[in-house]
Amino acid sequence: MRSIHADTFNHDEEADGYDEDVTHEENPIRAGYGATLDWVVARAAVGPEDQVVDLGIGTANLAVRLPPCRRLVGVDVSAQMLGLAEAKLPRGRAVELVHDDLLEFLDKPATFDAIVSTYAIHHLEADEKAVLIERAAARLAPGGRLAVGDLMAASRSAVDGVMVRLQHPDADALFDEEFPWFVDETLGLLAGAGFTGVAVEQFSDLSWGVAATRR
């Protein structure tokens, strides 16, 4: 199953300016970016014997923060982003970069100790997020960790208040054109997929982290 908007949100054209763009944390879309990545790293708790997949690795801003592990797979639909990631990741590290859609990748048989993702899954529609969580549960070993940082709102009913508070065209475009997570719905999906030990933290108006452990 390929995500519906995979081609729309292929960021090849924006790849060269991405690392500069995410430093502008005065923009509500970027606020909390660094803290969110650091939280995901902490929650993923990657060890030296772990096999890890980074869904939507982009330019590897999250991946370079992860501790060394037995195997790291970085998946992205953007070939340009993968090229930048390859140049940034340390040589000699056991890294495999895969040019693929996130949902299509999770269709393939594999087992991981941790699945991480930052600022990628808001490109999936709500039903696709549900599929991703179910497939993540199927791909994680017992006790495996799912740790995600992304653009979210507490609930659908909270969106209007967030938009009024921010009064920013990028925030308006996010809710009009993309698919931020809703934390309350996500918690229900995680429980339904058999995850436990759920942790949630908010880093800005739009940046949140959600982590859980496969039973």
**Runs of H (alpha helix) within the chain:** 15-21, 33-44, 79-88, 102-107, 126-139, 159-166, 169-177, 183-192
Separation CA 117–CA 129 (nearest Å): 12
Residues 6+ apart with CB under 8 A from 46: 52, 66, 67, 69, 113, 114
Of residues 1 and 23, more confidently modeled: 23
Of 159, 185, 183, nearest to 172 (Cα)? 159
pLDDT digits (tens, 9 = 90+) for 49-103: 999 999 999 999 999 999 999 999 999 999 999 999 999 998 878 899 999 999 9
Look at the block and give the residue holding tokens 């899954």: 121
pLDDT digits (tens, 9 = 90+) for 27-47: 999 999 999 999 999 999 999
pLDDT, position 91: 84
Residues 6+ apart with CB under 8 A from 1: 103, 104, 107, 131
Please give the domain boundaries of the chain with CATH numbers for all domains.
Answer: 15-214 (3.40.50.150)
Separation CA 55–CA 78 (nearest Å): 12
Q: How far is CA 215 from the centre of its chain?
A: 21
pLDDT digits (tens, 9 = 90+) for 113-122: 999 999 999 9
Separation CA 137–CA 36 (nearest Å): 22
Q: How many CA atoms lie within 13 A of 79 on its CB side?
A: 1
Of 176, 53, 179, nearest to 124 (Cα)? 179
* pTM of this structure: 0.97
Separation CA 54–CA 149 (nearest Å): 12
